[in-house]
A and B are shown apart, each in its own frame.
Chain A
Amino acid sequence: MAQTRTEKIVIDGLKARQTKERNFKFFGIFAVALAIAFLAILLISICSKGLPGFFQYYATFEVELTRERIDPRGDMSDQSLFEGEAKKIINEAVLEFTGAKKRNEKKAARSLLSNGSDLRLVNFVQKNTDKVNSRQKIKFALDDDADSFFRGYIKKQTPEKQRRLNDIEINYLEKMNEAGIITYEISDYLFFGSASRNAEMAGIKGAFIGSMLTLAVCFLIAFPLGVATAVYLEEFAPKNKFTELIEININNLAAVPSVVFGILGLAIFINLFGMPRSIPLIGGLVLALMTLPTIIISSRAAIKAVPPSIRDGALAIGASKMQATMHHVVPLAIPGMLTGTIIGMAQALGETAPLLMIGMVAFIVDIPGSITDPGTVLPVQIFMWADFAERMFVHKTSAAIIILLLFLMIMNGGAVWLRRKLERRW
């Protein structure tokens, strides 16, 4: 059978078209593979650096907890314990163990335990008041240099001048190791410690609570405002030039660089209202401004997705516009609104730029007790740790990144779960 002209064109072009399709598929797969490869590299590098950050070295010493020395005022108050001789008691235990006699030996012995060991002893005493006036074994964190020695970053073979621990210090550390008092355990400082310049004592608790307070303020302001705006614009507002202008501006706001909101926050909340710097209240307000457009846009999309027949049905049986919206449209749109909100919140959780202007990019040791206490947030903590010179901060930084990533995953996972659970199909 002879080919018609059309068949000929189709058959001739077939190969080229198939090649095109194959190439297109190949590019698609290549793009996905590249993205996965980058993600894998990121995760591997963070985990390989970060997992050791969850652990650190401790040394257990037996200390004599004499009441008069620890608690000179005798009332067990913070001030009294601070004035006590916690540090001296620990140093005596270390000196006794190492047998240091000369001045430089004593100096070496004293430098091996964390600078915050006295706080640890005071905490122990506060928690175990019944154990005062006895000998107790207490686990103290090693100083970050000593920690680096056990991790193998400081080697005995390197000439003494080129390493941060001298021969005496290394001898003492080896002696401790032989005596079996050195342990490698999950770092309690990482989870329960606050910001510190001593790498071994640094933890995320302060920043974590700061993040939670900030996000709480952000949610309480942005969610109701955003949803109300979306409902009004979608259901009640007249469609005219003015609402169109508002609509365009909301879309534009979503694209404004986040640092601009920080400048706005500085100008309004701090300079105009005279609120103090560095507090989660202002952080939350600024982040709320930033997430509002995201929430409004996603809420409007969710409301638009509710079929008009639902409204018509409600109106037909005599419901008012308000009732139709509140009883029927909004409940059906809630899953979409929540998804948008959670994604907006997750974005806010990772922001540092808008917080720079309002003083939340700061070194803050005290854990914030309320939204008006100075506080910082997790990404800021990561940013600051990444810049400190001490070697141990590298691990702590990556460990904190892992924790932040876990949080983002949980939040995004929550968004997916909510959508699945509440979603309705028509």
Chain B
Amino acid sequence: MRISHVMTTLAISFSIAGIAEAREQLSLAGSSTVLPFATIIAEEMGKNPSFKTPVVESGGSSVGKKGVCDGIGTEYIDIGNASSRMKTSELEYCDKNGVDLTEIKVGYDGIAVANSIDGQTLTISKADLGKALTAEIPQEDGSWIPNPFKKWSEINPSYPDIEIRVYGPPTTSGTRASFVEMVNEKAYCKKDTVAKKALKAINAKADKCIAMRTDGAYIEAGEQDNLIVQKLQEDTSAYGIFGFSYLDQNTDTLKSAVIDGGEATFEAIASGDYAISRALYFYVKHAHVGVVPGIAEYMEEWTKHWGEDGLLSDAGMVPMPDDEQAKYTKAIKELPKLTADML
């Protein structure tokens, strides 16, 4: 009786030790913006019976960038997805843990500003869009007041005479981070003369402007872009900020705003005419290539589908120009180490 107990305990601990060693499939985690595209690639790769389908976890860009650098070994992920580029501070964390990476850009994702097809089209400049949404507005005398604009027409009479009400992602979102950086900060605070003077007066950087309004003009609608799409279909006087692929899927009910003369269309984002877009990346850990089966094949699968007619563009990802595609195809083969001076 006793002996059989000991045997079972031993057997269980051995089997646990057994699973700790082997991992047959790739493990990825990171940005929820990259996830819909990474899963397409994973699924395509899994069609080949020689490989198991990679496991793709969500979690956000920071989880992808930090997770891949947590350490070397099969309990850590092999590839981290991110919709924002690695910062030097994040790379330092990798160096500390002895993790070498290669950065692969896979394409672009537009950030759409859109509303119901029954509502008024918003034709606006990027700077004014930032002005409408940033929490505090600088004054001529150098002071800052809470954003006073109630209606779009108060900023410029040519804008719609309706209340400013914009649904968008919460602070945890990469979409939000990119939007406030490109619109609030770069297009408005760094360009506007009054804002520049006011920033200098209080010795602040332009990232003071990245705070969004909290007085009801900007409504955080949760991480799920589908929720924003549903809200806009019901509320025809509101606008929404979300990933381009969701606009692409709902062109029968939603329409893009015209920002600096450009609409969020596939062609405009690809050519750079529509300027609110960001690059999508993944970071691959050198130490795992060749150890976990299928990493090279997974990366190669991207190159098959990231072009103009590929599966990814069907799903709403905007392809890179040809020279960038060639550059990153080469990087996939040669795996250059990511160093601080490359960032």
Q: Bound complex: CA of A388 vs CA of B255, how far in Å? A: 19
Contacts of B134 in A (CB 8 A): none
> Nearest residue in B to A278 (C-beta to C-beta)?
B55
| Residues B19 and A389 in contact, CB atoms below 8 Å apart | no
Contacting residues of chain A (262-276) with chain B, CB-CB under 8 angstroms? 270-271, 273-276
- Partner of B32 from the list A107, A365, A387 (CB cut-off 8 Å) is A387
| Residues A389 and B75 in contact, CB atoms below 8 Å apart | no
- Partner of A273 from the list B20, B42, B58, B224 (CB cut-off 8 Å) is B20
Given A78-B49, A276-B74, A391-B249; A363-B39 close (CB under 8 Å) = yes
Contacts of A386 in B (CB 8 A): 224, 226
Given A162-B252, A366-B25, A390-B249; A275-B53 close (CB under 8 Å) = no
| Residues B53 and A365 in contact, CB atoms below 8 Å apart | yes
Contacts of B252 in A (CB 8 A): 153-155, 158, 162-164
Q: Bound complex: CA of A279 vs CA of B27, how far in Å? A: 12
Given A278-B57, A374-B55; A365-B46 close (CB under 8 Å) = yes
Contacts of B48 in A (CB 8 A): 82
Interface string of A158-202 (1 = CB under 8 A from B): 100111100000000000000000000000000000001110000
Contacting residues of chain A (369-389) with chain B, CB-CB under 8 angstroms? 372, 374, 384, 386-389
Interface string of B10-43 (1 = CB under 8 A from A): 0000001001100101010100100110111011
- Partner of B35 from the list A77, A363, A365, A366 (CB cut-off 8 Å) is A363
In whole Å, how far is A278's beta carbon from the nearest beta carbon of chain B? 5
Given A197-B39, A388-B36, A389-B225; A362-B75 close (CB under 8 Å) = no
| Residues A359 and B20 in contact, CB atoms below 8 Å apart | no
- Partner of B27 from the list A359, A387, A388, A389 (CB cut-off 8 Å) is A359
B245 interface residue per 8 A CB criterion:
yes
A403 interface residue per 8 A CB criterion:
no
Interface string of A257-298 (1 = CB under 8 A from B): 000000000000011011111110100000000000000000
Q: Bound complex: CA of A275 vs CA of B52, how far in Å? A: 19
Contacting residues of chain B (54-79) with chain A, CB-CB under 8 angstroms? 55-59, 73-75, 77
In whole Å, how far is A348's beta carbon from the nearest beta carbon of chain B? 20
Name, among A155, A271, A361, A387, the residue most crowded by chain B CB atoms within 10 Å (CB to CB): A387
In whole Å, how far is A146's beta carbon from the nearest beta carbon of chain B? 13
Q: Bound complex: CA of A364 vs CA of B39, how far in Å? A: 9
Contacts of A362 in B (CB 8 A): 29, 55-58
Q: For the side of the interface on A, what is the size category?
A: 35 or more
A115 interface residue per 8 A CB criterion:
yes
| Residues B57 and A366 in contact, CB atoms below 8 Å apart | no
In whole Å, how far is A105's beta carbon from the nearest beta carbon of chain B? 15
| Residues B57 and A361 in contact, CB atoms below 8 Å apart | yes
Q: Bound complex: CA of A362 vs CA of B250, how far in Å? A: 25
Q: Bound complex: CA of A115 vs CA of B246, how far in Å? A: 20
| Residues A366 and B46 in contact, CB atoms below 8 Å apart | yes
B47 interface residue per 8 A CB criterion:
yes
Q: Bound complex: CA of A366 vs CA of B24, how far in Å? A: 12
| Residues A276 and B29 in contact, CB atoms below 8 Å apart | no
| Residues B251 and A164 in contact, CB atoms below 8 Å apart | yes
> Nearest residue in A to B49 (C-beta to C-beta)?
A78
B128 interface residue per 8 A CB criterion:
no
Q: Bound complex: CA of A356 vs CA of B311, how far in Å? A: 28
A79 interface residue per 8 A CB criterion:
yes
Contacts of A31 in B (CB 8 A): none
| Residues B249 and A389 in contact, CB atoms below 8 Å apart | yes
- Partner of B75 from the list A161, A162, A164, A277 (CB cut-off 8 Å) is A277
| Residues B249 and A364 in contact, CB atoms below 8 Å apart | no
Interface string of A54-67 (1 = CB under 8 A from B): 00000000000000
- Partner of A366 from the list B39, B53, B246, B311 (CB cut-off 8 Å) is B53
- Partner of A82 from the list B32, B39, B47, B224 (CB cut-off 8 Å) is B47
In whole Å, how far is B109's beta carbon from the nearest beta carbon of chain A? 11
In whole Å, how far is A195's beta carbon from the nearest beta carbon of chain B? 8
> Nearest residue in A to B70 (C-beta to C-beta)?
A271
B100 interface residue per 8 A CB criterion:
no
Q: Bound complex: CA of A164 vs CA of B16, how far in Å? A: 50
B155 interface residue per 8 A CB criterion:
no
Given contacts A276-B20, A389-B226, A389-B250, 20 further A-B contacts (CB under 8 A): A82-B49, A119-B47, A154-B252, A158-B252, A162-B255, A163-B252, A164-B248, A275-B16, A277-B75, A279-B19, A359-B29, A362-B56, A362-B57, A363-B38, A363-B56, A364-B53, A374-B55, A387-B223, A389-B225, A391-B249
19 pairs of residues in contact across A and B, judged by CB atoms under 8 Å: A158-B252, A163-B251, A164-B248, A164-B249, A274-B73, A275-B20, A275-B75, A276-B19, A276-B20, A277-B55, A278-B27, A278-B55, A362-B55, A365-B42, A366-B25, A372-B19, A374-B25, A389-B243, A389-B249
Question: 3 closest pairs, A vs B, by CB?
Answer: A78-B49, A365-B53, A362-B57
